[in-house]
Amino acid sequence: MNNILSKKPLIISGPCSAESRQQTIETCCQLAQSGRVDVLRAGIWKPRTKPGSFEGVGSIGLEWLAEAKRLTGLPIATEVATSKHVEQAIKYDVDVLWIGARTSINPFSVQELADALRGANVTVLIKNPMAPDVNLWQGAVERIINAGIKNVGLIHRGFASYNCEFRNNPMWHIAIEMKRRMADIPMICDPSHICGNRDKIALVAQKSSDLNYDGLMIESHISPDKALSDAEQQLTPQELIQILDQIKWRDTNFSSEKYTEILEVMRSEIDQIDSELINLISHRMKITDQIGEIKRQNNVAILQSDRWNQIIERLLNQTDRSTLSEDFLISLLEIIHLESIRRQTNIMNNQ
């Protein structure tokens, strides 16, 4: 099998769940006819938050997916959460297996899947775990790679959260860190599960393209409002195509020599500024160490709230808010302040 993940941008779409033969085949055929979708997806076994919700049609759905593959010639994808699912999916020649967010959070489950997958000629996509823990996500990927799976990809679907404008908070910095750690592994964005409704799907998809992601997984359904799972976030195939048409796909690299040259100059300027910043911060830490020593000798408390307020106020007043926001400035100062307190506490206790 050639590497499905080598296409960029890779577009995966299809219903959240396979519900009936007709719904699966019609959705998949409309998507295939558009010529814009590379992989057809459908959930067969659905991990639901509460019992009593629709839990998927089970293996019969694999027959419908396999039929969609025969009719369209496109590879098919489904979610696996147990070794039995893996066996079944392989039996029906499913090309892409994804590990869902409720499974990738559990190393026992991921290892069970890795053992079942050993030696299989399939592509495996690992969704970020429900919790924003880069190590857990990386560990899940390593378990699958260690089982000898060559074609592995990541799916960013956001993290469980309260009081967030999204169903699952994207926390882009976690996915960016994952991309940094596993630079050779494609990163696909799943705006459907990040958003939880149709409104912001285009916006999130565009953001992922701006961040140089390698593709999208977006749920689609012939009649979204009647869907048995995730009804609010599914799009019709036509709506999906409209969104795909709007997205500006960014180039990974600047091609023209002039751009490259300008970029080189600006990057060396950034490198220079970063070095200066780090030198200044270490210089600042040395001075706070000296202050810590004086506080120790005079038995004075480390935290001086008035002084800390003055620091923040002075800097907020002198900073141009159009370049640095108040939130950013305060967060930055807090990190520096916390490190200073940590060092002074060590000094205080190591007399």
Contact flag: residue 179 with ligand PEP (CB under 6 A): no
Q: Which of 16, 187, 188, 244 binds Mn ion (CB under 5 A)?
A: 16
Closest to ligand PEP by CB, 193 vs 198, is 193
- Count of residues that interact with ligand PEP, criterion CB under 6 A: 9
296 binds, among ligand PEP, Mn ion, none (CB under 5 to 8 A by kind): none
The Cα 56–Cα 62 span in angstroms is: 11
252: helix, strand or coil: coil
Q: Nearest distance from residue 166's CB to ligand PEP, in Å?
A: 13
Closest to ligand PEP by CB, 103 vs 340, is 103
Closest to Mn ion by CB, 14 vs 75, is 14
Contact flag: residue 157 with ligand PEP (CB under 6 A): yes
Count CA within 13 A, CB hemisphere, residue 147. 23
CB of 129 closer than 8 Å to CB of 139:
no
Greatest alpha-carbon span in the chain: 82
Q: Nearest distance from residue 100's CB to Mn ion, in Å?
A: 9
CB of 202 closer than 8 Å to CB of 247:
yes
Closest to ligand PEP by CB, 40 vs 347, is 40
Q: Nearest distance from residue 218's CB to ligand PEP, in Å?
A: 10
Binding mask 180-219 for Mn ion (x = CB under 5 A): ----------------------------------------
State CA 46 to chain mean position distance.
20
Tell me which residue of 91, 83, 28 sits closest to 59, measured CA to CA: 91
CB of 126 closer than 8 Å to CB of 153:
yes
Q: Which of 112, 190, 214, 230 binds Mn ion (CB under 5 A)?
A: 230
CB of 221 closer than 8 Å to CB of 27:
yes
The Cα 70–Cα 65 span in angstroms is: 9
CA 313-327-190 angle, to 5 degrees, is: 175
Closest to ligand PEP by CB, 100 vs 153, is 100
Contact flag: residue 43 with ligand PEP (CB under 6 A): yes
Closest to ligand PEP by CB, 9 vs 129, is 129
Q: Which of 4, 11, 12, 16 binds ligand PEP (CB under 6 A)?
A: 16
Taken as a whole, the chain contains a residue count of: 351
Contact flag: residue 221 with ligand PEP (CB under 6 A): no
What DSSP letter does each residue of 153-182 carry, written as one string? Answer: EEEE--EE-SS-SSSEE--HHHHHHHHHHT
Contact flag: residue 100 with ligand PEP (CB under 6 A): yes
- Chain positions contacting ligand PEP, by CB under 6 A: 16, 43, 79, 100-102, 127, 157, 193
